[in-house]
Amino acid sequence: MTVLDHDLAAAWTPDAHGPRRDPAPLLPDREPVRVLGTPALRRTVDSPGGRELLRDLHRRLVVGRRFNQQATTLTKQGRLAVYPASTGQEACQIAVAGALRPGDWLFPSYRDTLAVVSRGVDPLETLTLLRGNAHCGYDPYQHQVAPLSTPLATQAPHAVGLAHAARMRGDSTVALALVGDGGTSEGDFHEALNFAGVLNAPVVFLVQNNGYAISVPLAKQSAAPTLAHKAVGYGIQGRLVDGNDAVAVHTVLSEAVQHARSGEGPVLVEAVTYRLEAHTNADDAGRYRSAEEVADWQARDPLTLMERHLREAGVIGDAEVAAATDEAEQLADRMRTLFHVKPDLDPMSLFEHVYAEPTPQLREQAAQLAAELAAEAATEDQR
């Protein structure tokens, strides 16, 4: 070979346009990480604080399931306009709260009401969107929870921007964005992960791969080896976890959050799970999936799984289960009470928060509505 070739060889590495990352450490786990039913569970039990952690996860799972059930019941009673249940995905939903610190931010998607409630937001405030009385009933700054995002994946870039801003400020905040398997197809998902990689923002993306986007199965959504493999294209770390194993999700998410917090970069976590209920109460899941498939996954219910393994490991017994069930019933009671009170509705509020100050146009329109309401009230008084 000539000297020229040698020179070129140096130039023609993948680094020709600057330093690039080695792909090897970015590739996800070969198999989804599991703890329940593996030797890792024993290690967790024996670790300092391990038993408490496991009991806490179990308790949250029990309460989480009850939350989903009660919200579903309220919907059947007409108290919620629509409810997209996370039944079957509770391991992911509750792990979120445990993996984040108070200052961290959560960016939920429309199905993630349980994650929001697990983070501490009041159930009534969380559910206003689905009840129909207000878009976002909670103060995002109280528990650092962004509004539930209905347009899919659009909140992922918000998480990146917030994490980036926090990092510039010198804060140790981590942002966690929740996306569905369907949501990963959206351009915003791509742009968010790319920005995260380039900015090295302290952000974690959790994809709850429940196998369906409404009726569309994963095979029609993506041909990727796993969704976690998408990480490599952004130079960020991919992780794959059993999304029905609450301990595994907790562990992997905690590691990811720690990775992001320490400045090592963003992480994309794929949790393989299943939604046991229909897409929403309005959906007819029988149109697109078989009863056998649902039964298969019911046999892998995250709650049953957890309870069985923790009992087996001697971490919980009847007392813990009873205590958790009690707490769950208290929540359900509270929800029933809360939702039996008619919501406070002020039509004039429609104009209040469009801008910091209503524009002259909105003042005119508000006056029109006020006059209409007054006229209506007068008519009713006359009766």
Ligand X SMILES: Cc1ncc(C[n+]2csc(CCOP(=O)(O)OP(=O)(O)O)c2C)c(N)n1
Q: Which of residues 28-67 bind its own copies (CB under 8 A)?
A: 31-32, 34, 36-38
Shortest distance (Å) from residue 278 CB to its own copies: 17
Strand ranges of the sheet holding 267-272, from the earlier edge strand across to the other edge: 105-107, 175-180, 203-209, 267-272, 237-242
Q: Which residues 6+ apart lie within 8 Å of 183 measured at CB?
A: 109, 152, 153, 156, 189, 207, 213
Footprint of another protein on residues 200-219 (CB under 8 A)?
Answer: 213-216
In whole angstroms, the minimum distance from the beta carbon of 349 to another protein comes to 8
102 binds, among Mg ion, another protein, ligand X, none (CB under 5 to 8 A by kind): none
Tell me the window of 72-80, 214-222, 329-337, 371-379 that interacts with its own copies (CB under 8 A). 214-222
Would residue 279 show up in a list of annotated catalytic residues for this protein? yes
Q: State the residue for tokens 């959050």.
A: 257
User: Which of residues 190 and 311 has its CB atom nearest to another protein in the complex?
Assistant: 190
- How far is the C-alpha of 54 from the C-alpha of 316, rounded, in Å? 9
Give, as one character, the DSSP assignment of residue 23: S
Q: Which is nearer to ligand X, 67 or 212 (CB)?
A: 212
CA 205 to chain centre: 9
Residues 226-245 that bind its own copies (CB under 8 A): 226, 229-236, 240, 242
CA distances from 5 to 14, 15, 16, 19, 342 (A): 16, 17, 15, 21, 79
Per-residue mark of binding to Mg ion, 193-232 (x: CB under 5 A): -----------------x--x-------------------
Q: Which of residues 279-308 bind ligand X (CB under 6 A)?
A: 279
Scanning 35-43, 177-185, 309-317, 352-360 for contacts with ligand X by CB under 6 A, the matching segment is 177-185
Binder among 64, 137, 182, 243 for ligand X (CB under 6 A): 182
Considering only residues 202 through 221, tell me which ones interact with ligand X, judged by CB under 6 A. 210, 212-214
Closer Cβ to its own copies, 103 or 225, answer by number: 225
Q: Which is nearer to another protein, 58 or 164 (CB)?
A: 164
Q: What gap in Å lies between CA 324 and CA 93, rounded to an integer?
A: 17
Q: Which of residues 264-283 bind another protein (CB under 8 A)?
A: 279-283
Among 44, 87, 155, 221, binds its own copies (CB under 8 A): 221
CB 21 within 8 A of CB 234: no
123: Cβ contacts below 8 Å, ≥ 6 apart: 67, 117, 331, 334, 335, 338
Contact assessment for residue 64 and residue 250, using Cβ atoms and an 8 Å cutoff: no
By CB under 8 A, the residues from 150 to 169 that bind another protein are: 150-152, 154, 156-166, 168-169
Q: Where are the alpha helices (DSSP H) in the chain?
A: 3-11, 39-46, 50-76, 90-99, 113-118, 123-126, 128-131, 140-143, 155-169, 187-199, 246-261, 291-298, 302-312, 318-340, 360-382
The SS3 of residue 349 is helix
Q: Does 186 bind another protein (CB under 8 A)?
A: yes
CB of 219 to Mg ion, least distance (A): 13
Within 116-155, the residues that bind ligand X by CB under 6 A are 150-152
245-268 in b/e form (b: 16+ CB < 10 A) is bbbbbbbbbebbbebbbeeebbbb
User: Which one of 32-40, 94-102, 174-182, 360-368 is the stretch in contact with Mg ion (CB under 5 A)?
Assistant: 174-182
Rounded Cα distance, 368 and 366, in Å: 5
Which value, in Å, is the radius of gyration of the alpha carbons in the chain? 24
Cα–Cα distance measured from residue 252 to residue 91, given in angstroms and rounded to the nearest whole number: 12
Q: Looking at beta carbons only, is 2 or 382 nearer to another protein?
A: 382
- Alpha carbon distance 237, 256 (integer Å): 9
Interface characters, 154-193, with its own copies (x: CB under 8 A): ---------------------------x---xxxxxxx--
Catalytic residue among 288, 289, 311, 334: 288
Q: Binders of its own copies among 293-332, rule CB under 8 A?
A: 296, 299-300, 305, 308, 312
Strand partners, 217: 212
Position among 17, 355, 381, 383 found at the interface with another protein (CB under 8 A): 355
Residues of this chain that interact with ligand X (CB under 6 A) are: 111, 150-152, 180-183, 210, 212-214, 275, 279
Residues labelled catalytic: 275, 279, 288
